[in-house]
Chains A and B, each alone.
Chain A
C-alpha cells in the first residue's frame, strides 16, 4: 500500500529556514549536489549507497537484498525538513539493554547476532507460530517512510525508515475477533546486552510495549528493517523494530522477538515503572507535560551550543490529520 501524505501533516515551507540555519555550508552544498545528481541521473535513485550522505555501509542480509532493489522510495515525505544525519541517528540512541547512556548502544550493540532471527507470533491469532524473518516478510514490498521521531525526553529527529506496514503482517496471521491489543517484546539476551547485566538497572527485562489493535493496523504504523537506505544498525533495533511516528519514541520498540495479539490491554515497561510519567498511549502531546519537564517544545537534533534549534512540539507529532480520529471521545489529558 502506498501512503500519500496529507498536506497538513507535512512540514510547512516556513520551517525550511529554521531547519537549514544549523546546517553547515558544506553539508548544505553536498545535499544540494545530491538532489541535482538525483534529478539528472534517475538511475541514482535506486543506488542505495548514495541516497544519503555519510551512511556507514553494511552488508545486506540475503533475504533483504532482493527487497531492497524493489523498494518504493519516499512513500511519505516531510517536505521542508532536513533529514537528521545518519551519524547522529545511529550514535545517539536510547536502548537500555545496551546501557543507560546515549552512546552505549552504538558502543555495545555490534556484538548482537541478528541472523538468524525468528519472531514468535501468538495469542489471539488464527496462525500463531515461530516465523523466520525471511519467510514472514517474503510477500511484502519494502517502503521508505520519512518520519519525524519525537523522544519523550524532548528531543527529535527526522529519519528515513525502510519497512512494511505492521497491518500487512497482522492481516497475514489473522487476528481473531477477540484480539483488541497487540503486545511486543524485545530480545532479552544478557550475554550480548550489557545493560541487562547491570545490577543498578531498574527495568524489568524484557522490554515490553503495546498498541491498541486499531493503532497497530493504522497505515502509518511501520515495522522497520532498515533506515537511510540500508539495513538497521543494531543500536537502532535490528533486525526488526516498530515505528509509530505519532507516539513518543519509547513506544517504537526495538529488536522484536515476540508479537502477541491480546484481548486485554498489556502493561508496558515504562508504564509499570512510572505510570504517572509514561502512559499506555504516549501520544505526542504538547499540552500534557511529563511530570519532570514540559513537552511544549522540542530540541531538533543535531543542535549546537550556540544554536539550540528549539521548535514547538506538534499535536500527534504533526500526524493529527491521519490519527486524531483514533482517539475521538477520549480525554487525552487522562489517557496520556
Chain B
C-alpha cells in the first residue's frame, strides 16, 4: 500500500501536465481533474471498474467487453497492481446459488482479461453473491447495477 501511495504522490506532481495533455477522450479529460493517472481513483473514474450482466447470466456483454478492454490496457500500463475480480448478484436469487453465480461472473471477467494479455497470476476472484449490494435498492434499475463484476486493485 505504501508503494501505491508513493506512486500516487509522484503521479499527483504531474497532474497539471497530464491534464493539459489532451490526447484523452473528452469524457476522460473532464473527469481527470481530481485524480492522478495510475491511481485506483483514475482506474475507477476514467476506465470503469465494473461490468454488468443480464439476469441469471454470466456472459460478458458488448458494453462489458469495452470496459474490460480499457481495463486490460490500463492494467498493462500499471503492472504493479494485484487484481481481485469480485462477482456479485442482485437479490432476486437464493443465497447459495448466487454465491456460485457471482463466482461464474467473476471468472468470466477474469478469463476475458487473461485473453487480453493480463497474466493469470495477477488475477484472483472472489464471489460475494448477493451479500454486498451496490447500490442498495429493490427495483429493476438497482438490480441491473448489482449484477456485476468489479475489478478491485491493491
Q: Do A and B come from one complex?
A: no
**A residues lining the B interface (CB < 8 Å):** none
